[in-house]
Structure 1
């Protein structure tokens, strides 16, 4: 019950400042029609309720299962299996990410269907999956994070030279939307779970950095998509 109360307080503190600001602007500067304003109020209430239920679901289901999968995988003593499952989980969680869907629909709209929703969603998912697999390999073989980050961003800036200009901002936005509310809790819990078993409880910080790596994958995959479509 205490956890539910904490989630409710967190949602209220997240939404209330924006709602108060819009209300103040409505009666001082903007002056929107009242039917639009009431729709905003209704939307705030529904968003708050949805976000509250989502956060409760994350803490009840996503975080524990991610941690349990991460803790169970190293016990197989099969590095290839850990890396493969990291790839699959990274990809399927990204496909379920609402932020990725929003970006894909916007790109589909402005490109007049030239880049369909599914093409972009699956390209982003493959990029995230690949770098989650890289992150699993980094934890298993104790590879320093900085080397992977430098190599990854070197690849990004090299690809940028060959990518059409229209795809470069889309690719960096794709890297941002993968740090959404569905992907981040699961991937972080997975990484911490794997690191806690392989490195011990004192080195669970090795599980962090997965989100940083996962955000590189979509940038590279969408740039490759740009080279293909370009």
Structure 2
């Protein structure tokens, strides 16, 4: 229960300012109907609860697996394989990033397609992959 309370405090630090801002706007600039403000407050409560439960799950399930897997991978001594994995992981995560897709589409429009969406996505993703690989190397070598 202690971990849930800690996670709830973390999430509250993010959700409360937005909630207070909307409530202040409700009472000052843009009044909402009772139904709208009620739905908003219910939604804020559900975000607080759901995100807290999710983060507890991450801490109890995924984090220990990640720590164990990381230790095992580093202890295998296969540095080139680990670095290649970091490069691939960084590249694929970046390619899948929706914000990068949107930015690349906007760049394509603004440059009249002299820089295409996929050119930008690929170049940025290669850079992210390289930097993840360098980050892995620095962590392993303690540089």
TM-score range, shorter chain: 0.5 to 0.7
Give the greater-gyration-radius structure (CA). Answer: 2
Secondary structure of 1:62's counterpart equals: helix
Tell me the equivalent position of 1:82: 82
**TM-score w.r.t. length of structure 2:** 0.67
Could you give the per-residue CA deviations for residues 111-135 of structure 1, whole angstroms, max 9, x where no partner exists? Answer: 55x655x776665443322111112
Normalised by the length of structure 1, the TM-score is: 0.46
Task: Tell me if the contact between 1:101 and 1:121 (Cα under 8 Å) persists in the aligned partners.
Answer: no
2:102 is the alignment partner of 1:105: yes
Aligned CA RMSD, in angstroms, stands at 3.4
The answer for the alignment partner of 1:31 in structure 2 is 30
Gaps of 5+ in 1: 144-230
Distance (whole Å) between structure 2 residues aligned to residue 67 and residue 94 of structure 1? 23
Give ranges in structure 2 of 5+ residues lacking alignment. none
Q: How many pairs align?
A: 138
Instruction: Tell me the distance in 1 between the aligned counterparts of 2:63 and 2:123.
Output: 25
Q: Structure 1 residue 73: deviation in Å?
A: 1.3
Highest RCO, 1 vs 2 (Cα 8 Å, sep ≥ 6): 1
Cα 1:142/1:15, change in 2 over 3 Å? closer
* Counterpart contact for 2:26–2:32, Cα < 8 Å: no
Q: Name the structure 1 match of 2:57.
A: 57
